[in-house]
Amino acid sequence: MSSHSIPSIRASTRSAQFSLTYPQFAEIRRSPGTINTPMGRQEASQQKEMQTMLELTPLQREGEASEIATAVAFLLSDDASYISGIDLRVDGGTVANLEKVKQ
């Protein structure tokens, strides 16, 4: 798993909301869940936490690289021109579900 925690990524995103790199661009992060790629499969085979995350994913499947690409393409499009300073979770509901499981 990444050395960055979800809360620290969110805090970083919040602090960068108004820190514009270019006048028309604000920092946007995307947070993928478990993704069906060679690297994702390798990580899943080596870390039991990855299997636990998948089991807790409401959609009960890994995401596909094309699903991440579609989200990024939207964020780069004119349709997302008013979006800034967000952490877009493309994770099948994993993070939201983890917060429920902890309660």
Summarize the confidence of residues 13-32 as an average pLDDT: 55
Q: Greater confidence, 11 or 89? A: 89
- pTM, to two decimals: 0.66
Confidence of residue 34 (pLDDT cuts 50, 70, 90): confident
Burial 16-37 (b: 16+ CB within 10 A, else e): beeeeeeeeebbbeebbbbbee
Measure the CA–CA gap between 4 and 75, rounded to whole angstroms. 22
Please give the pLDDT value at position 79.
92
Instruction: Tell me the percentage of the chain whose pLDDT exceeds 70.
Output: 70
